[in-house]
Chain A
């Protein structure tokens, strides 16, 4: 089975910072990866699909990159609304990473 490893588990940042979250797959998953944002008590929200495609309506400060086994989600210019937990998810078996909580520094 493919394993997904997200890092870091927690990230402390300030408004305006550039934030990068990494997701690693235990084997090649091409570009079959999505990223979600989840706020407390709310459902996840799709941000990125196919590793780098921005979902409609998602601010352009969010971007995704990578292929094969290593992927990144970047937030360029962190906004107050971006403090949340982020999950990667590989398509096969709908397997999620453990999550990265972005908190106020």
Chain B
């Protein structure tokens, strides 16, 4: 069974940092692109950042450029999101999701999701 379990969310002050983790099991992690997708309270879904199966390519939404960094450890079946210079508008549930890309490059859909971890940026 495919499982994705996020952790690391919490309350952080504006300008602060947080590192999210996603532990996966039930599939060969090193074969898949992975993404972080967020959902602000009462709002829709927003793709944030993704990473190629071997970590060689990364893409992100403009609003997090220079602040968020995605990484992975294929030996540990884990995905990470380092979030720096956090802003109130980053408050959201963050989901890790397994990416099924079109033509093997960035861009596709998500067939498996974690349960999410809540990040609250507030003073």
Contact = CB atoms under 8 A, between A and B. Distances in A.
Interface of A: 32, 34, 36, 38, 42-46, 49, 55, 87, 89, 91-99
A99 B109 contact: no
Given A43-B115, A44-B95, A46-B112, 11 more contacts: A32-B107, A34-B110, A42-B115, A44-B45, A49-B100, A49-B109, A91-B107, A91-B109, A94-B107, A94-B108, A94-B109
Contacts of A95: 47
B116 A89 contact: no
Given A96-B45, A96-B47, A46 B110 contact: yes
Given A87-B45, A99-B44, A93 B107 contact: yes
Q: How large is the interface on B (under 10, 10 to 19, 20 to 34, 35 or more residues)?
A: 20 to 34
A44 B113 contact: yes
19 contacts: A32-B102, A34-B110, A38-B45, A43-B95, A43-B113, A44-B95, A46-B112, A49-B100, A49-B109, A87-B45, A91-B109, A93-B47, A94-B37, A94-B107, A96-B44, A96-B45, A96-B47, A98-B44, A99-B45
A43 B114 contact: yes
A49 B102 CA distance: 11
Main secondary structure of the interface of B (DSSP, over half): strand
B21 interface: no
Contact of A45 (B37, B45, B113): B113
